[in-house]
Structure 1
């Protein structure tokens, strides 16, 4: 049982490459060993919320931020920037290496999901490396495997959504009417409810909501 006195609240943002296992198993090793690290570096650089990295697990980056919860607008913007970075990287491969792109990346063979969660963590120092511990850390990891059929989406856990006091702001940025409902059941942890929306839908909404000056600035950075 967790000692609540040792726990700290934390925000989790976990981008994960969909279709990664098939890609690694079927693509040429000389192609994958260069492409995946380069893509992960790009996604790490897209970290506008100044989150820390708990760990990198092959195809997923476990970002977290302790303390005050980021605003809903900033979370939505972070998701958009991560997805745009992913899309731009795939497009750059099409230009620089069209043969391998057509073999392994065309027809959206890779996608991106982003898990957004909030919970409590504790930390341990293991030979100079900080290890995140706690039930919510496990939940964030387990949600990478879920029943959602879409390839590109944001998953917002009920626990994260319960922390949003301004429901109108939440509905503005994540278009509550378009959020679909889901749930997973995990041994020892029970039911984990969530809402989700495709990244294409939220990208379109953010393009509309962001000011012209901000959109112009993003194009030049």
Structure 2
């Protein structure tokens, strides 16, 4: 019978969220991470299926020990570089987004028989050895991030394994199974340390050309969802016909979208500003007529659970022609934002489609 090396990267660390935004964002975050793991594959691994937060893969070409460990390290480094970068670029403060850096990755590796099951057109590995690697997802290991070898994998690589590997025993289906594991937490620690030493790149803003301040009778998080979730933009921005954006990705600093207008379109990029007390969302574009660049920031300050102070700052760098038209352009932008904020107040107060 053919033999195979079964390889399973498994993500853990999300708590159980109940808010709709948190659940939706956790799905997007996990999907991005699984894609990154797949893109980091250097071995001849075939994907069997995606199992929740895990990838179930296998290969009939048994790799060298060094190559297998390189595969693990590549995935782990790519995984944590993404979570750290996501945390630096995120604009959302929901539970899923806020705890992305808490996510952990472990690897399970098993060597055994390769047999298949076919149901209609679907063919995939099946049998005792497939069951065994899944059983070992529950084990006694207290380390958060590790690679686990079953005893059969240990027999393949024991001459290359050093004393950093530890042995453990568990009972599965009334059978005693030995397995070996290696702590991999140092990979994450090194990436987090390096990120902490890197200075954040924040937008620099001059004096705003327009400031509007309102009090909304709505919850701050409801308002922020309507502001930052591009799928809700049509509910309060009536100047656009539609917005084109990647619906499989969560909006963050640097995210681009295209606003299709009655005449032409405008391409925007998401921006923000640092704040410890307020929620801030903004966008910028350099293709607005008569301006070199146009940007805005909306700052939300919580008054109480149902009241929020909303402050809009608009920044403009006019072209030469735009400078001559400055009063009329500012008047047009003021009216436009007065309408947008009025509509935003209504939809956030009534929680329309949220």
Question: Going by fraction, where is helix more abundant, 1 or 2?
Answer: 1
Picking from 156, 181, 197, the partner of 2:167 is: 181
Structure 2 length normalisation: TM-score? 0.49
After superposition, the C-alpha distances for 1:137-185 in whole angstroms (9 at most, x for unaligned) are: 10111111111111111111111011237x1xx13xxxx2221111221
Please say if 1:17 is aligned against 2:2. Answer: no
Please say if 1:47 is aligned against 2:41. Answer: yes
Q: Decide whether the 8 Å contact of 1:23 with 1:110 is kept in 2.
A: no
Q: Decide whether the 8 Å contact of 2:144 with 2:185 is kept in 1.
A: no
Cα distance, 1:33 vs. partner? 2.3
Structure 2 gap ranges (5+): 190-354
Matches within 5 A, 1:1-221: 7-20=1-14, 22-23=15-16, 28-66=22-60, 68-100=61-93, 105-106=98-99, 108-164=101-157, 167=159, 170-171=160-161, 176-187=162-173, 190-201=175-186
Q: Decide whether the 8 Å contact of 1:15 with 1:61 is kept in 2.
A: yes
Larger Rg: 2
Inter-CA distance 38–24: structure 2 relative to 1 (3 Å threshold): farther
Q: Decide whether the 8 Å contact of 1:31 with 1:100 is kept in 2.
A: no
In 2, distance between residues paired with 1:37 and 1:91?
Answer: 16
SS at match of 1:28: helix
Q: Decide whether the 8 Å contact of 2:26 with 2:96 is kept in 1.
A: no
Structure 1 length normalisation: TM-score? 0.76
RCO comparison, higher one (Cα < 8 Å, 6+):
1
Figure out how many residues of one structure are paired with residues of the other and give that number. 188
Inter-CA distance 23–43: structure 2 relative to 1 (3 Å threshold): farther
Q: Decide whether the 8 Å contact of 1:154 with 1:197 is kept in 2.
A: yes
Cα distance, 1:133 vs. partner? 1.0
Question: Going by fraction, where is strand more abundant, 1 or 2?
Answer: 2
In 2, distance between residues paired with 1:29 and 1:154?
Answer: 28
